[in-house]
């Protein structure tokens, strides 16, 4: 019989940043606590609202003192210390506070998606400062050279692990375990007043994108361009584009451009509360993610579980995630997304059937109960084994 484990889940951005990484940490700790596991959720902002939460002080990436520190530190020194960006400063300061806490709590496992936090915690164990073995759930597109430094790494899709093996970088205790989703919370259902609140007619077609509102990576500018192109060809169909996501440096510029070009047919929801996300998905007809490469975006799982057909780029990870529940297209080619809008928004029956398939695939492959069982088995594997070069 395996002994109970003391588990720490940590996220430097949780409490003040809304991204998939923060949602992952919040959801994982909640599921572990509901299962009776001894878990503590360490977060870098906000308030402790549940018994298992603990807020740790850190230099938050958007705070004025962080910006002043970066301006003062010489770059040759700051990058060497991991302080070369606002996110780096946040991670290093959070990791130091976390290590101090873990010295007292004697956790067995530390599970994170912040890469610098993982690296510093792993070094702290090697120095005998903490007991916890660190698992990095790799969701931030770190290089293979960086990944190789991590003893226990959770790839979020089989393709990522296969690529590491093909490149000769994979280590013995690396696994592929996906993100998961609460399929009871994110589930199909009627619109609960979201359209009315957003001023969208009940009979309109709604395209939803949930992603950081920026050009780089998420390609929100491409999404706006393709929706404008589609509308110029199908002006008779009432349709709205809803973009929900976190604020980035270019967000205001993208919002202004979208409103100038689409007028009343676009809604930007910046920092939309996560507790209201299930209802937002239920108010939509089609989900789209225009990025060309992803580790494993939680938003796609949320959309699929909610019964939305998903339009994504033709990439192995995204194709694996949506299964038969949508379409993978060439998002890099101008006009392909606009053509897909015409096909999907013009056929409500196809949308409904594909949404059902998306939901069934998501429940089968990514439901919380299925995936968390695998995570707990990995925890036991990690505490039972010590790779070469890692101090006990």
**Above 70 in pLDDT, residue 9?**
yes
Cβ atoms of residues 230 and 266 within 8 Å: no
- Region 256-270 average pLDDT: 97
Indicate if 213 and 175 belong to the same structural domain: no
Residue 52, domain extent: 6-180+368-384
Q: What percent of the chain has pLDDT over 70?
A: 95
Indicate if 142 and 21 belong to the same structural domain: yes
Cβ atoms of residues 70 and 81 within 8 Å: no
Beta bridge partners of residue 205, listed in sequence order: 239
Indicate if 346 and 377 belong to the same structural domain: no
Token pair 């780029």 in the structure block, residue: 313
d(CA 93, CA 298): 26
**Above 90 in pLDDT, residue 71?**
no
Q: What is the CATH number of the domain that holds 216?
A: 3.40.50.2000
Indicate if 279 and 347 belong to the same structural domain: yes
pTM above 0.85, yes or no: yes
d(CA 260, CA 266): 10
CB-based contacts of 21-24 (< 8 A; 24+ apart in sequence): 21/113, 21/114, 21/139, 21/140, 23/274, 23/298, 24/113, 24/137, 24/139, 24/179, 24/298
Is residue 389 domain-resident? no
- What is residue 388's predicted lDDT score, i.e. its pLDDT? 43
Beta bridge partners of residue 90, listed in sequence order: none
Q: DSSP E strands: which ranges in the chain?
A: 6-11, 38-43, 53-55, 109-112, 133-138, 152-155, 174-176, 205-210, 239-245, 266-270, 286-288, 310-313, 326-329
**Above 90 in pLDDT, residue 178?**
yes
Is residue 301 domain-resident? yes
Residue 330 dihedral angles phi and psi, to the nearest 5°: -90, 90
d(CA 66, CA 88): 10
Give the number of domains in the chain.
2
* pLDDT band for position 391 (cuts 50, 70, 90): very low
Is residue 392 domain-resident? no
d(CA 360, CA 259): 36
């Amino acid at each position: 019989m395996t002994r109970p484990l003391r588990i720490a889940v940590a996220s430097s951005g949780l409490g003040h940043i809304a991204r998939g990484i923060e949602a992952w940490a919040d959801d994982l700790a909640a599921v572990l606590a509901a299962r009776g596991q001894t878990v503590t959720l360490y977060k870098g902002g906000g308030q402790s609202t549940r018994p298992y939460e603990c807020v740790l002080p850190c230099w938050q990436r958007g705070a004025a003192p962080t910006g002043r520190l970066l301006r003062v530190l010489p770059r040759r020194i700051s990058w060497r210390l991991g302080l070369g960006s606002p996110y780096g400063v946040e991670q290093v300061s959070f990791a130091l506070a976390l290590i101090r806490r873990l010295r007292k709590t004697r956790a067995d496992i530390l599970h994170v998606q912040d890469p610098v936090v993982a690296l510093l915690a792993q070094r702290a164990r090697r120095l005998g400062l903490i007991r916890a073995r660190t698992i990095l759930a790799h969701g931030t597109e770190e290089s293979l050279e960086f990944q190789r430094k991590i003893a226990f790494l959770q790839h979020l899709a089989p393709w990522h692990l296969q690529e590491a093996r093909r490149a000769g970088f994979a280590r013995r205790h690396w696994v592929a375990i996906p993100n998961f989703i609460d399929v009871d919370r994110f589930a199909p259902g009627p619109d609960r007043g979201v359209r009315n609140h957003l001023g969208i007619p009940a009979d309109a077609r709604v395209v939803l994108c949930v992603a950081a509102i920026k050009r780089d990576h998420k390609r929100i500018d491409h999404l706006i361009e393709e929706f404008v192109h589609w509308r110029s060809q199908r002006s008779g169909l009432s349709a709205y584009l809803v973009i929900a996501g976190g604020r980035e440096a270019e967000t205001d510029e993208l919002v202004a451009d979208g409103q100038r070009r689409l007028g009343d047919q676009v809604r930007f929801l910046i920092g939309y509360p996560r507790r209201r996300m299930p209802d937002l998905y239920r108010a939509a007809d089609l989900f789209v993610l225009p990025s060309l490469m992803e580790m494993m975006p939680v938003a796609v799982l949320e959309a699929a579980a909610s019964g939305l057909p998903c339009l994504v780029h033709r990439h192995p990870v995204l194709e694996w995630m949506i299964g038969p529940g949508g379409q993978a297209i060439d998002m890099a080619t101008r006009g392909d997304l606009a053509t897909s809008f015409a096909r999907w928004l013009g056929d409500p029956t196809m949308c409904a059937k594909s949404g059902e398939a998306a939901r069934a695939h998501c429940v089968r492959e990514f439901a919380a109960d299925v995936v968390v069982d695998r995570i707990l088995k990995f925890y036991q594997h990690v505490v039972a084994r010590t790779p070469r070069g890692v101090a006990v």
